[in-house]
């Protein structure tokens, strides 16, 4: 549990973060979105005290982070930045083992951990452990950056535009991979981005910031249906709203009994993807199958549209 | 080579080298013969400088190398030709000394003349160009340097050159040659070491404290612009005072003239490259790397030792390379104020108009600078672990 209480930061007269409070539950992903210069990164950097707040405090599991030595605090918090900041003179294995070595883990434990993480991020240890960062593609560097941040099994991971330098094709895959790994490890994540799609894709809760203030902190669906201010509505995109909403719900929730002709859709697909299929195939309904491929019902355009409206009532 | 058909593809640099070789062969004396060590001498063309069979053989080899330079394209072939040329003309000039000197005449002196130097230059250019085209790695370059040094040592130790004036000058001064050599190295390396001891912390401090940066760099740049003779002059008064009033200083051999002011001058000249490169090296460490290191909880000291210094090291080494090559050359002028070193022979030689004595001081200095540059360049390449920041 991360509790951010009344955090403020100013440089001279320039207020960068203004009285921001919110809490992130264990195992949740909180995404901080906003335009550039909104104070997102400063807020994030106050959590691991790379920036010392002027007022307010951050509690991790009830403990005030100001009471811990800075370096010790940072050993317990994973940190990923946009350029990853991999150490160019160290191999992938050495990069990943940075914090475990600082913590004095023994060699065998470190080696096992490095291998485990490389496997987790689908990088063959035999091939990648001894490579240098400049020998990796952007996507591989990104994975090594996240693996390095997770090396000492931190309960909290801070990510500042972690997908910002990836091209759109790899970005989607990297986001899915992060989600899968996060669900598996149960790590709490605070992630900063300016990309609304990313926020809706990853966030259990989304914090919208503008001009140093936190405008709204809510679940994605609430942000769409009950925007607190005009700016939030604008940022979310009025035209995009119904589609974003559909992307938050899976086929399972809008499924009807019965059957239909055509290419089946799985229950775990989002309604947005299902609608896209229905439009593309030119059919009023398509069959739905479960993970094993067995038919379990049908999904129709009407059913989806009803779902898109329902939350507004 | 005007007779070559235009269909042949001529190598541009190789043609220039071939031209140099032609000039050396046809129009320049290979050795100079003098009746004694200070009178002016008469030149001997290559054909007259060696026994007939040797002369013809040498000329054929030289022409062959010129053809290779102009026409051959594979770097290995060019390197082999250049090496062959060097391996022929270096012993040849020694043989020539014995051949040209009348039997039993111990006063006559024979020196390599412009023709020999042009040939040596042409072959060395060809070899250097071939080595560059081969793109040797650091180990390859070190190996090439060791081979060249080994060949040179073999040549000198074998006595093939003992009839040359240069070696006669050496034979008369063998003991002082090595003494001055040690002094030369001590001046160059000692002042470099001192500059590193002082310059690294200064560079680090000015990286951390921007206010210090401009003042320090300007001060050191001003020092750099003072001519060495003037710097010696400036140092005479304070060092003389020190020697007269501080017994310890006098006991250490510090005087207004001699090795102490030379050492201090070299040290002062060395500071700028060391300080500037330390700063440059540290400031080119990518910001996201330091940010990530801080974010992972590396302490200030850990960041410096594990991240910043290793990443700055190649640039710092490049500064040390500048210093070393510069000092090995500059140490020559220490002899002006009685500081010793190879410069002793240079200035003696100038005083006596004995050009071979000048060479006895100058050639080892050039060789040392050359070797130091190659060795340090190789080390710099080796320290760029992971091949980063090659941009």
Point out the residue among A74, A90, A91 whose CB comes nearest to the CB of B296.
A74
What does the block give as tokens for A42?
Answer: 């400063």
Residue A168 makes CB contacts below 8 A (sequence gap 6+) with none
pLDDT at A5 over 50: yes
Q: Do B297 and A73 touch (CB under 8 A)?
A: yes
pLDDT at B2: 52
Nearest CA to B273 among B207, B187, B199, B380? B199
What gap in Å lies between CA B261 and CA B264, rounded to an integer? 5
Report ipTM for this prediction: 0.84
Domain annotation covers residue B168: no
Per the structure block, which two tokens stand in for B278?
A: 């330390």
B181 and B113, same domain (yes or no):
no
Residue B328 lies in a domain: yes
Domain assignment of residue B49, yes or no? yes
Distance of residue B22 Cα from the nearest chain A Cα, in angstroms: 49
Q: What is the pLDDT of residues B150-167, one digit of tens each?
A: 999 999 999 889 888 899
Residue B335's CATH number: 1.10.3720.10
- Kindly report the pTM of this predicted structure: 0.80
Domain boundary among B162, B182, B201: B162
Chain B residues with beta carbon closer than 8 angstroms to that of A89: 310-311, 385-386, 388
Phi, psi of B335 (to 5 degrees): -60, -25
Q: List the one residue out of A283, A278, A255 whose CA is nearest residue A268.
A: A255
SS3 labels along A87-103: CCCCCHHHHHCHHHHHC
Same domain, B137 and B209: no
Distance from CA of A173 to the nearest CA of B (A): 24
Which residues of chain B make contact with A128, given a CB cutoff of 8 A? Answer: none
Residue B110 domain-assigned (yes or no): yes
User: Among residues B116, B141, B162, which one ends one of the domains?
Assistant: B162
| C-beta of residue B321 within 8 angstroms of C-beta of residue B377 | yes
B293 within domain boundaries: yes
> What is the mean predicted confidence (pLDDT) over B209-236?
87
CB-closest option in B291, B296, B307 to A99: B296
A261-308: per-residue pLDDT in tens? 888 888 888 888 888 888 888 888 899 998 888 888 999 888 888 877
Tokens representing A297 are 């019902």
**Do B199 and B125 share a structural domain?**
no
Name the DSSP letter for residue A152.
T
Cα A28 from Cα A38, distance rounded (Å): 23
Lowest mean pLDDT among A50-64, B74-88, B99-113, B244-258: B244-258
* B213 shares its domain with B186: yes
Joined together, the tokens standing for residue B42 give 């008469």
Nearest-Cα distance to chain A for B112, in Å, is 50
Closest CA to B199 of B224, B165, B173, B231: B224
Are B113 and B206 in the same domain?
no
CB contact under 8 A, B389 and A85: no
Residue at a domain's end among B138, B162, B186? B162
Give chain B's domain count: 2
Distance (Å, rounded) from C-alpha A58 to C-alpha A20?
11
Q: What is the DSSP string of B108-123?
A: -EEEE-HHHHHHHHHH
Segment B50-95, tens digit of pLDDT: 998 989 999 999 999 999 998 888 899 999 999 999 999 999 999 9
Q: Which domain holds residue B63?
A: 2-162
Residue among B286, B299, B388 whose CB faces A71 most closely:
B299
User: Is residue B167 situated within a structural domain?
Assistant: no
Cβ(B319)–Cβ(B276) below 8 Å:
yes
> What number is the average pLDDT over the span A40-57?
94
Residue B112 lies in a domain: yes
pLDDT in tens, A174-215: 999 999 999 999 999 999 999 888 999 899 999 999 999 999
User: What CA–CA distance (Å, rounded) separates A196 from A178?
Assistant: 17
Contacts of B386 in chain A (CB under 8 A): 88-91, 132-134
* Residue among A70, A82, A87 minimizing CB distance to B289: A87
**Residues of chain A with a CB closer than 8 angstroms to some CB in chain B:** 48, 50, 70-75, 79, 81-91, 98-99, 102, 132-134, 145, 148-149, 158
Phi first, then psi: give them for residue A22, nearest 5 degrees: -165, 170
Please answer whether residues B385 and A89 qualify as being in contact, where contact means their C-beta atoms are separated by less than 8 angstroms: yes
- Measured CA to CA, the distance from residue A180 to residue A120 in angstroms comes to 10
Q: Chain A within 8 Å of B305 (Cβ-Cβ)? A: no
Q: How many alpha carbons lie under 13 Å from residue B282 in its C-beta half-sphere?
A: 22
Name every chain B residue with its beta carbon within 8 A of the beta carbon of A134: 386-388
Cβ contact A85–B385 (<8 Å): no
A:B CB pairs within 8 Å: 76
B111: which strand partners?
Answer: B32
Task: Kindly identify which residue of chain A lies nearest to residue B383, measuring between CA atoms.
Answer: A89
- Give chain A's radius of gyration (CA, Å): 22
Which pLDDT score is estimated for A245? 84
CA distances B1 to A28, B46, B62, Å, are 81, 19, 14
B302 and chain A in contact, CB less than 8 A: yes
Angle at A145 between CA A141 and CA A150, to 5 degrees: 145
Establish if B131 belongs to a structural domain: yes
Residue in chain B closest to A46 (alpha carbons) equals B295
Q: Note whether B386 contacts A148, CB cutoff 8 Å.
A: no
Q: Strands, DSSP E only, in A61-187? A: 63-64, 77-80, 156-160
At B389 the pLDDT is 42
């Amino acid at each position: 549990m991360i509790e951010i209480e009344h955090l403020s930061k100013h440089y001279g007269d320039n207020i960068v973060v203004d009285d921001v409070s919110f809490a992130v539950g264990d195992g949740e992903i909180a995404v901080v979105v906003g335009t550039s210069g909104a104070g997102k990164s400063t807020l994030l950097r106050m959590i691991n005290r790379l920036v010392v707040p002027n007022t307010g405090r951050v509690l991790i599991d009830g403990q005030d982070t100001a009471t811990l030595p800075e370096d010790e605090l940072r050993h317990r918090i994973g940190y990923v930045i946009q350029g990853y900041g991999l150490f160019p003179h160290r191999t992938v294995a050495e990069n990943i083992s940075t914090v475990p070595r600082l913590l004095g883990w023994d060699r065998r434990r470190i080696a096992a951990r490095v291998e485990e993480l490389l496997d987790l991020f689908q990088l063959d240890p035999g091939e990648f452990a001894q490579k240098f960062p400049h020998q990796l593609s952007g996507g591989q560097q990104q994975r090594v950056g996240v693996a390095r941040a997770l090396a000492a099994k931190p309960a909290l991971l801070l990510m500042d535009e972690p997908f910002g330098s990836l091209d759109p094709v790899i970005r989607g895959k990297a986001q899915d991979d992060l989600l899968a790994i996060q669900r598996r490890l149960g790590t709490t994540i605070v992630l900063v981005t300016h990309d609304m799609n990313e926020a809706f894709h990853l966030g259990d809760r989304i914090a919208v910031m503008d001009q140093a203030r936190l405008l709204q902190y809510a679940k994605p669906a609430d942000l769409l249906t009950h925007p607190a201010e005009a700016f939030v509505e604008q940022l979310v995109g009025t035209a995009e709203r119904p589609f974003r909403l559909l992307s938050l719900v899976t086929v399972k929730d809008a499924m009807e009994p019965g059957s239909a002709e055509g290419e089946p859709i799985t229950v775990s697909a989002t309604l947005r993807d299902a609608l896209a299929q229905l439009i593309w195939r030119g059919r009023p309904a398509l069959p739905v199958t479960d993970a094993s491929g067995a038919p379990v019902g049908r999904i129709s355009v009407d059913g989806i549209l009803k779902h898109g409206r329902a939350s507004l009532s | 080579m005007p007779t070559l058909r235009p269909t042949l593809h001529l190598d541009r640099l190789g043609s220039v080298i071939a031209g140099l070789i032609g000039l050396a062969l046809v129009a320049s004396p290979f050795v100079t013969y003098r009746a004694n060590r200070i009178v002016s001498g008469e030149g001997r063309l290559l054909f007259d400088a060696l026994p007939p069979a040797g002369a013809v053989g040498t000329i054929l080899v030289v022409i062959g190398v010129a053809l290779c330079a102009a026409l051959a394209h594979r770097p290995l072939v060019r390197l082999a030709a250049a090496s062959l040329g060097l391996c022929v003309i270096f012993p040849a000039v020694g043989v020539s000394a014995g051949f040209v000197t009348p039997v039993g005449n111990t006063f006559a002196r024979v020196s390599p003349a412009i023709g020999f130097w042009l040939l040596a230059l042409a072959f060395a250019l060809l070899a250097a160009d071939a080595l560059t085209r081969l793109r040797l790695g650091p180990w390859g370059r070190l190996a090439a340097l060791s081979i060249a040094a080994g060949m040179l040592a073999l040549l000198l130790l074998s006595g093939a050159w003992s009839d040359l004036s240069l070696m006669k000058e050496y034979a008369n001064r063998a003991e002082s040659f090595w003494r001055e050599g040690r002094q030369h190295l001590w001046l160059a390396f000692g002042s470099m070491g001192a500059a590193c001891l002082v310059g690294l912390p200064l560079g680090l401090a000015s990286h951390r404290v921007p206010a210090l940066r401009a003042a320090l760099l300007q001060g050191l740049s001003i020092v750099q612009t003072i001519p060495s003779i003037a710097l010696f002059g400036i140092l005479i008064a304070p060092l003389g005072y020190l020697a007269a009033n501080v017994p310890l200083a006098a006991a250490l051999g510090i005087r207004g003239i001699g090795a102490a002011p030379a050492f201090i001058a070299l040290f002062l000249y060395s500071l700028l490259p060391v300080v500037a490169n330390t700063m440059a090296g540290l400031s080119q460490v990518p910001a996201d790397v330091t940010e990530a290191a801080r974010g992972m909880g590396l302490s200030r000291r850990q960041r410096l030792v594990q991240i910043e210094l290793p990443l700055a090291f190649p640039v710092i080494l490049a500064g040390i390379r500048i210093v070393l090559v510069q000092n090995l050359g500059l140490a020559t002028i220490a002899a002006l104020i009685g500081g010793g070193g190879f410069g002793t022979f240079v200035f003696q030689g100038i005083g006596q108009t004995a050009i071979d004595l000048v060479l006895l001081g100058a050639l080892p200095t050039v060789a040392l600078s050359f070797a130091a540059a190659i060795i340090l360049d190789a080390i710099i390449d080796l320290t760029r672990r992971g091949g980063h920041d090659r941009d």
